Amino acid sequence: MTFLRRLGSVVWWLLNRNRAEQGLADELQAFIDLSAADKMRGGLPAAEARRLAVVELGGVEQAKERVRTYRHGAMLDELGRDVRYAFRIFVKNPGFTIIIVLTLALGIGANTAIFGMIDALMLRWLPVKNPQELVQVTFQAPGATTPPAESFSYVIVRALAEQRQIFSGVAGFSGFRFDVGSPASRVPGAIVTGRYYEALGLNPVVGRLLTREDDEPGASPVVVISYHYWERAFARSSDAVGQNVRMNGVPVRIVGVSPRGFVGANVGSTADLTIAVAAFPQVKPDAAPLLGPGNFWLRVLARPAPGVSRAQAAARLNAVWPQISEPLIAPHWPASRRKEMADSVFQLSPGGTGWTYLREVYRKPLFVLMAAVGLVLLIACANVASLLLARASARQREVAVRLAIGAGRGRIVRQLLIESTLLSLIGAAFGVGLAWVSGRFLVNMISAAPGRVVFDLTPNWHILGFTSAVAIATGVLFGVAPALQTTAAGPSLVLKEDARMSGSRSRLLPWLVSVQVALSLVLLAGAGLFVRTLRNLQNLDPGFKAEGVLLVDLEGRRTAVPDDFLDEIQRIPGVVSASVSTHTPLSGSVWSEPAVPAGQRIPERDNAYFVGAGPRFLSTMQLHLIAGREFTNRDSADSPAVAIVNEAFAQRHFAKQNPVGQHLAANVRGNRTDLEIVGLVRNTNAAGLRKAPPPTVYVAYAQLTGDLPTALAIRATGRIGSVVSAIQQALQSKLPGTAIEVRPLSAQVEATIVQERMMATLATAFGLLALTLACIGLYGLLAYSVAQRTKEIGIRMALGAQGARVVTLVLKGGARLVLVGIALGLPAMWAASRWVESMLFGVTRTDPATIGGAIVLLMAAAQLAAYLPARRASRLDPLGALRHE
Amino acid sequence: MDKLDIPQGTLDLMILTILAREPMHGYGISQKLAALSHNNFQVNPGSLFPSLYRLEQDGKLKAEWRPSENNRNAKYYTLTPAGRRQLERHRERWDRISFAITSVLEGA
């Protein structure tokens, strides 16, 4: 009832505002009339009586204002008035408003862009039923120090799905790119277990989704297409269901379309074609081993059974595991590894945001960048605050008048805060636009070949909420000090003829500038460290020469590659040498086996990287041969097995002896093999630029059996473009139905430092933005102080000070602020750099050259910013300056 | 003579009490308050009008414009039934408070 009445009174007030204002004025007038009449009866003259009556009332406007603040609905009304007033002020000062809005748009936009990435990568729920219920299943060997493993074998996922008292649904999935159509193109897809869609609680748009039956041995292969693919390839025709898609040359029937917006549980990639694990070998015969117990490749999301909490589910799972584990663990594994797996502990973590390897890679970089843009925003805030402070002097008279005619101080502070919040909301609106545009750029930056990263960065309520919160906090942050400052003097002081700012603002401003300098130093030095890291990685000699090498992946096509295949490519003009290998450097996939000098016991655990390499592989990659020979055509399946080892391997097993001519005992793809070492080759950073070169054994490609991952490596010169199309032509005729992708090895190398490149690029951009903002802040302060000290400078010049001396005077003032800033910034930099230490390469976090460079850059830019006001000061006309004010 | 500050929260009670006798305009209320308090209280119009507006909006008072003693229109406030109930409640509470305070002061 009370609420309704209040609401009514608010509405009444809004509708009758003018009448109410008039009524209030009339009533106060009546009060004065009555009071004056009384006083006249007491003998005072009319004018005096009236004056006294007004004094007694304490001012008509003050009384009105106090009544207004008591009235219901007054808040709303005042807000509207304040907003209109604020806009009038903005329009009157367009240049000022534009500078502030631009500064804030950059600051808030940078924050929104980075937050958008964090949101897309880590915070967004999968578009599935009750995503908050989902858990991600991981496991960890007892006593392991490595992070929990995220991949499971197919048999384990199937066994988990049967634990219906623990999980109501279990989804195993992995990404794969299919060759579709002819000529073939690569389409991203997913391989999933039968209960995938059921566990995620999804319903088809058309047709049906995959079921348990599709994931049984012998089931005919069927595919579910994404809504997006349905739209693109079939124009959303319902005839799509029942049609066949040629996947890797095999016709697969479309059974349904998954819901709009759902593109798989693998965040950052799109699964347009989804098939069941059991059907996978029919599309890709060499994938058959993936169904075995030794291959851990499926990520698992599960939904605990109703009423079962995450902790309960984990406890039950760990209780059940020892009873069911025995048949699920690969029988060919060594006993110690089998025991380790049997003793492993399952962990369930929240899984509603899906899975992506990107999270592991980018979590920390994005948090570092978030902190960096936070600092940029602080600098922007300081800039805007000092602009507002500088303008406070211009506004002080206006504010004094308002105080004098009855506005409370709180009321004016509120008005000023509304102005600053409005400014930052306008800045935020532009910032969101800026973030949207730059978001694409960010995603492209982390999109390394071969799998493109796909994020929807359309502003959602997360992002808008975050940005609004940032904007409001920002508005208050940069608005409070100027607002308090402006109103501090009270009405009387400033109405005097020689209105001057009180002293406190000149204390606050220099500190703001010094803090800006300090924060800029942190960002610049940080940027320097990341740039050095990137440079170090780029200049690192990885042991092979990537430039000029082209790669063609022919996964599992070995049997389809005729022997004269490479010879044909070799004949293409521009091709220097062509070779074949199982694993190319830095491809991200590696093969390891146990290998020791003959006579020693072969260990259970793999201890060396293996690479199957064809003839001319070393010369194609320009791997430096130290001793012995490279593989040739004579190293065939019928000749004795040979190997080439790298320095790291030789050092570990042969100390100072020459390994060439020695023999190795190794398990190669499950076969005990005797290998004769025929060559010694330089180390390569094949497993990662930051990682020490691993001990590596090269074995002859022709002497390996079975289906192998196969990639052609071709060194070419001249016009690469024509070489690429010639290669494509030569291969396409031999491999119809396969998408022939020719890509440079250098791109593969670049792909491994995408994160470092992102850090270097963005940290530099934010560092320079911070530097620019800090310099604008310094310029503003000095320009203002020169304007204020016009008279003093005039006197100095009249007394004979030369222009150069005046310049020095102003520059010194600026340099002092910068030095204070640097003194504040160095310890901050020292503390902050600990956090990024692990991200650096080849440079210490306190690298003197980097920090020194940042300081020099900062001082140079600051001197430049200070020079402009200094020069203006030196050109003052002394006489004019003395007459100033 | 120095004026006393009106104790927090008692202005409403005094306004309601004065208006319980007869409808009155703002100036009349302030004069009456001064007279009844033997000139100990002088209500500042800047406090009086906000109180009157609040009481009116809460439905405790009703206001109407009519000619005043000097034939000019003035806004006269009248107690509503809700205002009368509020007066009774406040009065009762105030009596207890003053009784309690007096007892303490005299018993000590």
Are residues A758 and A833 located together in one domain of the fold? yes
Is B22 contained in some domain? yes
Average pLDDT value for chain A? 87
Domain-ending residue, one of A352, A385, A415: A352
Domain tally, chain A: 4
How much of chain A, in percent, has pLDDT values that exceed 90? 47
Nearest-angstrom CA–CA distance, A83 and A71? 19
Are residues A199 and A335 located together in one domain of the fold? yes
Is B63 contained in some domain? yes
Is A249 contained in some domain? yes
Which residue of chain B is at minimal alpha-carbon distance from A69? Answer: B50
- Does residue B98 sit at the A interface (CB-CB below 8 Å)? no
Of A58-67, A157-166, A235-244, A739-748, least confident by mean pLDDT is A58-67
Phi and psi of B79, rounded to 5°? -75, 135
Reduce the secondary structure of A822-841 to three states and give it as a string: HHHHHHHHHHHHHHHHHHCC
Nearest-angstrom CA–CA distance, A679 and A629? 5
Measured between beta carbons, which residues in chain B are less than 8 angstroms from residue A7?
none
- Does residue A765 sit at the B interface (CB-CB below 8 Å)? no
Q: Which of the residues B3, B53, B72 would you substitute to probe the A interface, choosing the one with the greatest number of A C-beta atoms within 10 Å?
A: B53
Domain-ending residue, one of A737, A766, A787: A737
- Does residue A31 sit at the B interface (CB-CB below 8 Å)? yes
Say yes or no for a CB contact (<8 Å) between A57 and B70: no
Is A565 contained in some domain? yes
Query: What does the block give as tokens for A600?
Result: 């020693």
Nearest-angstrom CA–CA distance, A519 and A515? 6
Please give the average per-residue pLDDT across A763-775, as a whole number.
93
Measured between beta carbons, which residues in chain B are less than 8 angstroms from residue A71?
53-54, 57
Is B46 contained in some domain? yes
Distance of CA A83 to the CA centre of its chain: 36
Say yes or no for a CB contact (<8 Å) between A35 and B27: yes
Say yes or no for a CB contact (<8 Å) between B75 and A26: yes
Q: Which of the residues A14, A67, A77 would you substitute to probe the B interface, choosing the one with the greatest number of B C-beta atoms within 10 Å?
A: A67
Are residues A266 and A191 located together in one domain of the fold? yes
Say yes or no for a CB contact (<8 Å) between B45 and A34: no
Are residues A374 and A327 located together in one domain of the fold? no
Please give the average per-residue pLDDT across A577-583, as a whole number.
91
Say yes or no for a CB contact (<8 Å) between B74 and A34: yes
Which residue of chain A is at minimal alpha-carbon distance from B31? Answer: A35
Of A27, A59, A72, the CB nearest to B75: A27
Report the pLDDT value the prediction gives residue A884, as an integer from 0 to 100. Answer: 61
Is A286 contained in some domain? yes
Among the listed residues A382, A606, A318, A623, the one whose alpha carbon sits nearest the alpha carbon of residue A512: A382
The bridge status of strand A222-225 relative to strand A185-192 is: unpaired
Is A95 contained in some domain? no
How close, in Å, is residue A39 to chain B by CA atoms? 12
pLDDT band at A398 (very low <50, low <70, confident <90, very high): confident
Among the listed residues A694, A691, A665, A664, the one whose alpha carbon sits nearest the alpha carbon of residue A679: A664
Domain-ending residue, one of A306, A335, A352: A352
pLDDT band at A1 (very low <50, low <70, confident <90, very high): very low
Distance of CA A42 to the CA centre of its chain: 80
- A208 pLDDT more than 80: yes
The total of other beta-carbon atoms located within 10 Å of residue A582's CB is: 21
Measured between beta carbons, which residues in chain B are less than 8 angstroms from residue A31?
25-27, 45
Measured between beta carbons, which residues in chain A are less than 8 angstroms from residue B25?
30-31, 34
Angle at A783 between CA A782 and CA A787, to 5 degrees: 110
The answer to whether the bond into A183 is cis (omega within 30° of 0) is yes
Task: With H, G, I as helix, E, B as strand and everything else as coil, classify residue A553.
Answer: strand
- A392 pLDDT more than 80: no
The single residue listed with the structure tokens 């934010």 is A766
Task: With H, G, I as helix, E, B as strand and everything else as coil, classify residue A35.
Answer: helix
Say yes or no for a CB contact (<8 Å) between B28 and A34: yes
Query: What does the block give as tokens for A781?
Result: 């302060």
Query: Which DSSP letter does residue A206 get?
Result: E
Residue span of the structural domain in which B71 resides: 11-107
Query: Which DSSP letter does residue A328 get?
Result: G
- Does residue B99 sit at the A interface (CB-CB below 8 Å)? no
Say yes or no for a CB contact (<8 Å) between B57 and A9: yes
Measured between beta carbons, which residues in chain B are less than 8 angstroms from residue A5?
58-59
Phi and psi of A863, rounded to 5°? -65, -40
Q: Which of the residues A2, A9, A34, A61 would you substitute to probe the B interface, choosing the one with the greatest number of B C-beta atoms within 10 Å?
A: A34
Measured between beta carbons, which residues in chain B are less than 8 angstroms from residue A56?
45
Rounded to whole angstroms, what are the CA distances from A310 to A72, A136, A149, A173, A349?
50, 10, 18, 21, 8
Query: What does the block give as tokens for A157?
Result: 């996922």
Rounded to whole angstroms, what are the CA distances from A513 to A103, A426, A473, A782, B2?
15, 24, 20, 10, 52
- Does residue B70 sit at the A interface (CB-CB below 8 Å)? yes
pLDDT band at A7 (very low <50, low <70, confident <90, very high): low
Among the listed residues A514, A413, A451, A598, the one whose alpha carbon sits nearest the alpha carbon of residue A819: A514
Angle at A880 between CA A874 and CA A883, to 5 degrees: 125
Is A324 contained in some domain? yes
Phi and psi of B51, rounded to 5°? -65, -45
Say yes or no for a CB contact (<8 Å) between A63 and B57: no
Say yes or no for a CB contact (<8 Å) between B26 and A69: no
pLDDT band at A369 (very low <50, low <70, confident <90, very high): very high
- Does residue B66 sit at the A interface (CB-CB below 8 Å)? no
Of A5, A34, A58, the CB nearest to B70: A34
Task: With H, G, I as helix, E, B as strand and everything else as coil, classify residue A227.
Answer: helix
Which residue of chain B is at minimal alpha-carbon distance from A58? Answer: B46
Is A544 contained in some domain? no
Residue span of the structural domain in which A670 resides: 555-737
- A416 pLDDT more than 90: no
Say yes or no for a CB contact (<8 Å) between B72 and A33: yes
**What confidence tens digit (pLDDT) does each residue in A839-864 have?**
999 999 999 999 999 999 999 999 99
Say yes or no for a CB contact (<8 Å) between A63 and B45: yes
Nearest-angstrom CA–CA distance, A491 and A434? 42
Which contiguous run of DSSP H or E holds residue A322? helix A310-324
CB of A495 closer than 8 Å to CB of A365: no
Looking from the CA of B23 toward its CB, the CA atoms found within 13 Å total 15
CB of A481 closer than 8 Å to CB of A389: yes
Is B3 contained in some domain? no
Nearest-angstrom CA–CA distance, A117 and A365? 11
CATH number at residue B63: 1.10.10.10
**What confidence tens digit (pLDDT) does each residue in A219-239 have?**
899 999 999 999 999 999 989
The total of other beta-carbon atoms located within 10 Å of residue A239's CB is: 10
Domain tally, chain B: 1
- Does residue A35 sit at the B interface (CB-CB below 8 Å)? yes
- Does residue B54 sit at the A interface (CB-CB below 8 Å)? yes
Of B28, B46, B58, the CB nearest to A66: B46
Is B2 contained in some domain? no
Are residues A365 and A344 located together in one domain of the fold? no
Q: Is A835 exposed, middle or buried (0-12, 13-18, 19+ CB in 10 A)?
A: middle
Nearest-angstrom CA–CA distance, A53 and A832? 65
Rounded to whole angstroms, what are the CA distances from A220 to A253, A277, A706?
9, 12, 25
Are residues A485 and A571 located together in one domain of the fold? no
Is A97 contained in some domain? no
Q: Is A547 exposed, middle or buried (0-12, 13-18, 19+ CB in 10 A)?
A: exposed
Are residues A344 and A432 located together in one domain of the fold? no
- Does residue B49 sit at the A interface (CB-CB below 8 Å)? yes
Nearest-angstrom CA–CA distance, B73 and A241? 84
CB of A687 closer than 8 Å to CB of A653: no
Say yes or no for a CB contact (<8 Å) between B53 and A56: no
Report the pLDDT value the prediction gives residue A377, as an integer from 0 to 100. Answer: 92
- Taking a contact as any Cβ pair under 8 Å apart, which residues of chain A between 46 and 75 contact chain B? 56-59, 62-63, 66-67, 69-72
CB of A454 closer than 8 Å to CB of A261: no
Are residues A669 and A705 located together in one domain of the fold? yes
> What ipTM, to 2 d.p.?
0.85
Distance of CA A387 to the CA centre of its chain: 32
- A499 pLDDT more than 50: no
Measured between beta carbons, which residues in chain B are less than 8 angstroms from residue A72?
57
How close, in Å, is residue B103 to chain A by CA atoms? 37
- Does residue B10 sit at the A interface (CB-CB below 8 Å)? no
B97 Cβ neighbours under 8 A, 6+ residues apart: none
CB of A844 closer than 8 Å to CB of A851: no
Is B102 contained in some domain? yes
Are residues A842 and A696 located together in one domain of the fold? no
Please give the average per-residue pLDDT across A536-545, as a whole number.
92
Q: What does each of the 108 residues of chain B score in pLDDT, given as a tens digit?
A: 567 777 767 888 899 999 998 899 888 898 888 888 888 888 877 788 888 888 888 888 998 888 877 777 888 999 999 999 989 998 998 899 889 989 999 886
Report the pLDDT value the prediction gives residue A554, as an integer from 0 to 100. Answer: 80
Diameter of chain B measured on Cα atoms: 54
Nearest-angstrom CA–CA distance, A516 and A387? 14
Task: With H, G, I as helix, E, B as strand and everything else as coil, classify residue A104.
Answer: helix
Nearest-angstrom CA–CA distance, B55 and B79? 10
Are residues A517 and A641 located together in one domain of the fold? no
The total of other beta-carbon atoms located within 10 Å of residue A808's CB is: 15
Residue/partner pairs of A828-832 with CB below 8 Å, 24 or more apart: A828/A518, A828/A519, A828/A521, A828/A522, A829/A521, A829/A522, A829/A525, A829/A526, A832/A371, A832/A522, A832/A526
Nearest-angstrom CA–CA distance, A606 and A583? 17
Task: With H, G, I as helix, E, B as strand and everything else as coil, classify residue A186.
Answer: strand
Measured between beta carbons, which residues in chain A are less than 8 angstroms from residue B44?
58
Are residues A695 and A726 located together in one domain of the fold? yes
Q: How far apart are the first and last CA of chain A?
A: 61
- Does residue A9 sit at the B interface (CB-CB below 8 Å)? yes
Q: Is A514 exposed, middle or buried (0-12, 13-18, 19+ CB in 10 A)?
A: buried
Are residues A195 and A316 located together in one domain of the fold? yes
Q: Which residue has the higher pLDDT, A764 or A489?
A: A764
Say yes or no for a CB contact (<8 Å) between A30 and B44: no
| AA identity, residue A88 | R
